[in-house]
Amino acid sequence: MSWHLTHDQLHQYAAHTADDVTAMSAEAHLMHCARCRDLLPADEAWLDRSWANLRDIVDRPRRGPLERLLSVLGLRENTAKLLAATPQLYRAWLTATVLVLATALTVAHELPRGSLLFSFTAPVVPLLGVALAYGRWVDPAHSLTSVTPLAGYRLLFLRTSAVLVPALTLCTAAAALMPSTSTLWEAVFWLLPALAMVAGCLSLSRWMPLSLAGGLLGAGWLLTVGVLGIAEELDPLLLFSPTAQSGWAAALTLLAGAILLRMRTV
Amino acid sequence: MKLLRRARRRTPSYGPDSTDPVLLSAVAAGETDALEILHRRHAPWLRTRLRYRCSDPDQLDAALQETFLAVWRNAGSFTPRPGDSDAGAWLWTIAIRQLISQLRKRANRWIADSTPEPYETIGDASAEDTVLLNIEHGPLGAALHELSPELRSAIQATVLDGLTVREAAEILRIPEGTVKTRVMRAKARLREALTT
Amino acid sequence: MTMDTTATGVSVRGLVRSYGTRRALAGIDLDLGPGVTGLLGRNGAGKTTLLRCLATDLEATGGEVRVLGRDPEQAADRTEIRRRMGYLPQSPSFYPHFTVFGLLDYVAVLKELGGRRERHDEVRRAMRRVDLYDRRHSRVRRLSGGMRQRLGLASALLGDPELLLLDEPTIGLDPEQRIRFRDLVSELAARSTVVLSTHQIEDVAALCRRVLCLDAGRVVFDGTPDELVSRARGRVWEQGSRPAEGVTSWRLADGRYRVLVPEGTENPDSTAGVPVEPSLEDAYLLFTGAGRKTR
């Protein structure tokens, strides 16, 4: 560059006091002259503000596909973030659930009385998901997050809903595809025991780790099914009889009430 | 897809003294720190220059923000001419178009914004325009002084800012035909002044 | 004794924490104010349990705890403590597939830190403080041990807490990072209460205004580092002959033996050696139970 703008020209131009022709001249020169551009007086405070605004858009934590999906579905940003950050065991549970339900469906279509497999696994699917969703044993970041203001019941319920929504959807879908399903009742017979056991698990978590509570209840369920299956003149399907269903409903109501009460007082 | 592409691209090493093309390839690889250096280097003069074309500070800041966002998204499309280590002209073409787009938004809020892309380096100006760009305080300066403000602003928008006739019409708020006749008349006057 | 319920620091009376029949904390009394307090003690002495009780991560089995003037057993108080406190657990672990920025942002959401813009600014500030800003888009699984430790520290620093509880914060840091860490903690200690557990004598000497030595769930020493050293005076000996069995000692480079004589006992070989000026390390070993052979 053969010439450069003078100090006065630069300052007049920057202060918006240059006449048209000087301004045009300065602009034509500045377009290609880095040296004069650097000498142009700059408003540092404005520059910092401007960068902060820009950075806020270009420099954000990367969002995973799940978090983006949840945002698209209309969840608030914070909620989407909390729901998307689930322990990897939860993902494993989701995969396992799909596999187990697919197997149960195949068995139900191929074998006589094969639909029993679905009947006795569906009620524990949500329970196991909840057990794997929260707590020191299953969540590697638990020690880091357990003493934050949002931890405790709020995070627990958020994670529980992250389990219940896919679990109930998948189980309902599977039930609808069962060969024997003809009425609405036959599609949701597993729902009350499943919910009652989840509520039981959440209630027990007051005294023991959530995963242990889930494990105990799950084992209890399988044991009961086994005992009823072996015993003469008893049928495991009794667990879904109208009498049993009203029992499950009562248990669910009581446990949910207890949980709500505890949330209020603690 | 964009994320994948970004992650795969190798990040060149760069610093506050790196040239624009190096910084832009770092930005293309997703480096926000390189964008910060570019912003620090170019935002002040772009802002000063835009201020001669728009007096509303909010629209100005919005246009500048959009400019650097466009740089962030399109840094990969910058192809420097051999030996050119400066992205000033390229940045200006983005900035002035973002300003027009801001003005258009204000004028017609209901018309969807069409982002003009990709951004190409201007520089294939005619020989005459190149002469015009080398304005000094010689006879050309004097000749420009002689022009009426209307003719001067038409020359400024088309030659100096590198706008198309349509864009110049938008920023000057006059019909395209008027831009064309004013530019023709201005060039004729200047030629006259320089040759006599 | 009356409870100190001032809004700063920590106040503990008769704190007991049991695991079944084992008492990890066997009656602790404490009042901690602004500045850095070091928790010393060998593994299993109760340091981590004490920090977890103060961090509202564990409930006390007995006694009274007040953190920042509030009672961790009350839900509302507990949440308030959690808002104003930062806790670095011992060897923290993370979601490996998260980026540094993403993980801290997640913790910041759990800490209820403002809208997105303020939250991101706070996360950036924390990352800068621990020198992780340049790695903010790296996945956690790609970080070295020292970086993960700093990531944990950054998460404790989020929200500018009034009380910082750090469980072995300098583990995995190289010497240069340790120095930077000390600078950072000194800066924080000017306006907040910092409690850290450590095995690094250099950290204690450089940082702590006060040290607490824990042994078997009890506080066995509470004072300044200088007082700790002076209490060890007369209990550190050097002698030419190998000391008797059952005495803590080690061989020095010049072939002599350095002997630690725990409080309440006499040096069995007192004629063979001379008492020497104790170092902070001698004092640490004496008062954290190393003077006794394993129980």
Domains of chain C and any CATH numbers = 10-227 (3.40.50.300), 234-276 (no CATH)
C147 vs B106, residue with greater confidence: C147
What digits encode the pLDDT tens for the residues B60-98?
999 999 999 999 998 888 887 777 778 888 898 899 889
Distance of CA A124 to the CA centre of its chain: 20
pLDDT score of B24:
92
Residue at A1 is within a domain: no
Residue C292 is given by DSSP the state S
Q: Which residues of A touch C117 (CB under 8 A)?
A: 56
Segment A139-165 shows an average pLDDT of 85
Structure tokens given for B150: 């209307």
Whether A118 and A218 map to the same domain: the answer is: yes
Q: pLDDT tens digit string along C216-266?
A: 899 989 999 999 888 888 888 888 777 777 677 888 888 888 888 877 777
Strands C35-40 and C210-215: parallel
Euclidean distance between the first and the last CA atom of chain C, given in angstroms as a whole number: 33
CA-based nearest residue in chain B for residue A52: B36
Chain A residues touching C96 at Cβ < 8 A: 140
SS3 C5: coil
- Indicate if A113 and A152 belong to the same structural domain: yes
Give the domain-ending residue among A58, A79, A94. Answer: A58
A143: contact with C, CB 8 A cutoff: yes
Contact C95 A146 (CB under 8 A): no
Q: Cα separation of B90 and B68, whole Å?
A: 12
Query: Residue C198: phi, psi to the nearest 5?
Result: -160, 160
One domain for residues A207 and A100 = yes
Residue A261 lies in a domain: yes
Residues A39 and A73 in one domain: no
The C-alpha of C100 sits at a distance from chain A's nearest C-alpha, in angstroms, of 8
Nearest by CB to C87, from A88, A147, A266: name it. Answer: A147
- Residue A82 in any domain: the answer is yes
User: Which chain B residue has the Cα nearest residue A29?
Assistant: B134
Residue type, B193: A
Alpha-carbon distance of B111 to B122, in angstroms, equals: 27
Q: How many Cβ atoms are within 10 Å of A116's Cβ, its own excluded?
A: 17
The answer to whether position A138 is within a domain reads yes
Residue C19 has pLDDT above 80, yes or no: yes
Does residue A152 sit in the same domain as residue A194? Answer: yes
Helices and strands: H and E segment counts in chain A: 15, 0
Q: Tens digit of pLDDT for each residue in A70-109?
A: 888 888 888 888 888 877 777 888 888 888 888 888 888 8
Give me the pLDDT at residue B107, please: 61
Q: Are A167 and A174 in contact (CB under 8 A)?
A: no
DSSP three-state, residue A76? coil
Beta carbons of A10 and A40 less than 8 angstroms apart = yes
**Mean predicted lDDT score pLDDT of chain C:** 87
Residues A99 and A135 in one domain: yes
Q: Which two tokens stand for residue A13?
A: 């131009």
Subunit contact A77:C116, Cβ cutoff 8 A: yes
Q: Tokens in use for C162?
A: 């009034």
DSSP codes of every residue in C46-75 = SHHHHHHHHTTSS--SEEEEEETTB-TTSH
Q: How far apart are CA C81 and CA C67, in angstroms?
A: 7
Domain boundary among A19, A41, A58: A58
Cα separation, C36 vs C15, in Å, equals: 21
Range among A38-52, B153-167, C246-260 with highest mean pLDDT value: A38-52
Q: Which amino acid is at A266?
A: V
Place C127 in a pLDDT band, splitting at 50, 70 and 90: very high
Q: How far is A87 from chain C (nearest CA, A)?
A: 7
Q: Which two tokens stand for residue A23?
A: 């301004």
- Across the beta sheet with C22-32, the strand order is C22-32, C10-19, C62-67
pLDDT grade, residue B117 (50/70/90)? Answer: very low
H-type helices in chain C, by residue range?
47-54, 75-84, 100-110, 116-129, 145-157, 175-189, 201-207, 225-231, 280-287
Q: Report the DSSP pairing between strands C210-215 and C218-223.
A: antiparallel
Query: B141-150 burial, b if ≥16 CB within 10 A, otherwise e?
Result: eebbeebeee
Domain stop point among A58, A78, A93 = A58
Residue A205, SS3 per DSSP: coil
For residue B113, the model assigns a pLDDT of: 44
Whether residues A147 and C120 touch (CB distance < 8 A) is answered with no
DSSP C2: -
The predicted pLDDT at position B139 comes to: 65
pLDDT average, residue stretch B142-171: 82
- Closest CB to A40: pick one of B45, B136, B145: B45
A149 to chain C: which residues are within 8 Å by CB?
79, 82-83, 110-112
Q: How much is the pLDDT for A9? A: 83
CA distance readout (Å), A15 to A10, A47, B45, C247: 8, 16, 12, 82
Q: Which of B3, B39, B135 sits opposite A51 (nearest CB)?
A: B39
Per-residue pLDDT averaged across B45-54, rounded? 88
Inspect the interface and report whether the beta carbons of B160 and A27 lie closer than 8 Å: yes
Place of tokens 């579905």: A73
Residues A54 and A69 in one domain: no
| Confidence (pLDDT) at C4 | 46
Q: Which helix (H) or strand (E) holds C195?
A: strand C193-197
pLDDT, residue A182, reads: 64
A152/A24 same-domain check: no
Question: Do residue A151 and residue A121 come from a single domain?
Answer: yes
Task: Assess whether A146 and A200 both reside in one domain.
Answer: yes
Task: Determine the Cα–Cα distance for residues C38 and B176; give it in Å rounded to an integer.
Answer: 77
**Ordered DSSP codes for A8-58:** HHHHHHHTT-S-HHHHHHHHHHHTT-HHHHHHS---HHHHHHHHHHHHHHH
Answer whether residue A23 shows pLDDT above 90: no
Tell me: pLDDT of C104 over 90.
Answer: yes
- The reply to whether A179 and A199 lie within a common domain is yes
* Domains present along chain B, CATH in parentheses: 1-121 (1.10.1740.10), 125-196 (1.10.10.10)
- Per-residue pLDDT at C224: 92
Answer whether A192's CB lies under 8 Å from A252's CB: yes
Residue B32 tokens read as: 């926000």
User: Are the C-beta atoms of A175 and A118 separated by less than 8 Å?
Assistant: yes
Q: What is the pLDDT of residues C190-208, one digit of tens each?
A: 889 999 998 888 888 888 9
Sequential DSSP letters for C89-111: -SS----TTSBHHHHHHHHHHHT
Model confidence at C7: pLDDT above 70: no
Residues of chain B contacting A37 with CB distance shorter than 8 Å: 41-42, 44-45, 88
Whether the pLDDT of residue B119 is over 80: the answer is no
pLDDT at residue C50 in the model: 95
- What pLDDT shows up at residue C130? 92
Q: Is the ipTM of this complex over 0.85?
A: no
Phi–psi pair at C169, nearest 5 degrees? -70, -20
Half-sphere exposure of A14 (CA within 13 A, CB side): 19
Which residues form the domain of A219?
A: 65-265
* Interacting residues of B152 by C-beta distance below 8 A, sequence separation 6+: A20, A21, A24, B144, B186
Flag whether residue C85 sits within 8 Å of chain A, measured between CB atoms. Answer: yes
Q: What's the gap in Å between the CA of A74 and the closest CA on chain C?
A: 17
Beta-carbon count within 10 A of B167 CB: 22
Cα–Cα distance, C232 to B59 (Å, whole number):
72
Position C8, amino acid? T
Residues of chain A with C-beta less than 8 angstroms from the C-beta of C92: 141, 143-144
User: Residue A41: its pLDDT value, please?
Assistant: 85
Name the packing angle between helices C100-110 and C145-157 (round to 10°).
Answer: 30
Domain total for chain A? 2
Cα–Cα nearest to C162, from C133, C117, C132, C193 = C193
Per-residue pLDDT, B106: 66
Handedness of CA A175, A177, A182, A183 (dihedral sign): positive
A-C CB pairs within 8 A amount to 82
Q: Is C134 touching A (CB cutoff 8 A)?
A: no
Query: Per the structure block, which two tokens stand in for C185?
Result: 């903690």
Do A70 and A22 fall within a single domain? Answer: no
Averaged pLDDT of chain A: 84
Annotate chain B with DSSP letters as a single string.
-HHHHHHHSPPPP--TT--HHHHHHHHHTT-HHHHHHHHHHHHHHHHHHHHTT---HHHHHHHHHHHHHHHHHHGGG--PPTT----HHHHHHHHHHHHHHHHHHHH-TTSPP----S--------HHHHHHHS--TTHHHHHHHHS-HHHHHHHIIIIIS---HHHHHHHHTS-HHHHHHHHHHHHHHHHHHHH-
